[in-house]
Structure 1
Amino acid sequence: MERKTTPKSRLVLQAARSCFLELGYDRTSMDLIAQKAGVSKATVYAHFESKEALLYGLIEEEFEIDGPPPLWDPNRPILDITAALTDIAHRFTAIFLTDKKLGFHRLIMTNASHFPAIAEIFMNGGPRRHLEEVRTFLERGIDAGLLCIDDLDLAAKQFLSLVQGDLPLNWALSMQPPEPGRYEALIKGGVRVFLAAYGATRKE
Structure 2
Amino acid sequence: MTRATPARGAAAQGLPRDVRGKRALILASARALFIQSYERTTMDAIAERATVSKATLYAHFAGKEDLFVALVEDEVEALRQASTATGGRADFSVEDRLMRFGTQLLELTLKSDNLALLRVLIGAGQRFPALTQRVVDSVRAPIRSAVVQLLEQAVAAGELVCDDRRFAADFFMRIINGGIRIDCLLDERLRPTPAQIHEHVGLCVQAFGLLLQARNGGPAGTTGPPR
Shorter-chain TM-score above 0.5 = yes
8 Å contact from structure 1 (residues 164, 186) kept in 2: no
Aligned residue pairs total 197
- Report deviation, 1:134: 0.7
**Superposed displacement of residue 175, structure 1:** 3.1
Return the TM-score normalized by structure 2. 0.68
How far did residue 31 of structure 1 move? 6.5
8 A Cα contact 1:9 1:44, kept in partner: no
**Structure-2 residue corresponding to 1:69:** 79
The whole-number CA distance in structure 2 between the counterparts of 1:165 and 1:7 is 35
Which of residues 129, 132, 140 in structure 1 aligns to 2:142? Answer: 129
- Cα distance change of structure 1 residues 146 and 29 upon mapping to structure 2, 3 Å threshold: closer
What letter is aligned with 1:183?
A: I
Aligned to 2:123: 110
Deviation, structure 1 residue 131:
1.0
Q: Kindly provide the amino acid, as one letter, of the partner of residue 77 in structure 1.
A: A
**Match for 2:210 among 172, 196, 203?**
196
Identity of aligned residues (%): 22
Please provide the CA RMSD for this pair: 3.4
Q: Aligned partner of 1:112: which letter? A: G
SS of the residue 1:114 aligns to: coil
Task: State the TM-score, normalizing by the size of structure 1.
Answer: 0.75
Structure with higher helix content: 2
Partners of 1:136 and 1:34 lie apart in 2 by 39
1:197, 1:119 → 2: CA distance? Answer: 30
Specify whether residues 78 and 155 from structure 1 end up closer, same or farther in structure 2 by C-alpha distance, changes over 3 A only: farther
**2:95 aligned with 1:82:** yes
- In the alignment, structure 2 segments of 5+ residues that lack a partner are 7-18, 223-227
> Which residue pairs with 1:186 in the alignment?
200
For residues 19 and 63 of structure 1, do their structure 2 counterparts lie closer, same or farther at Cα, with a shift above 3 Å needed?
Answer: closer
Residue 110 of structure 2 is matched in structure 1 by 97
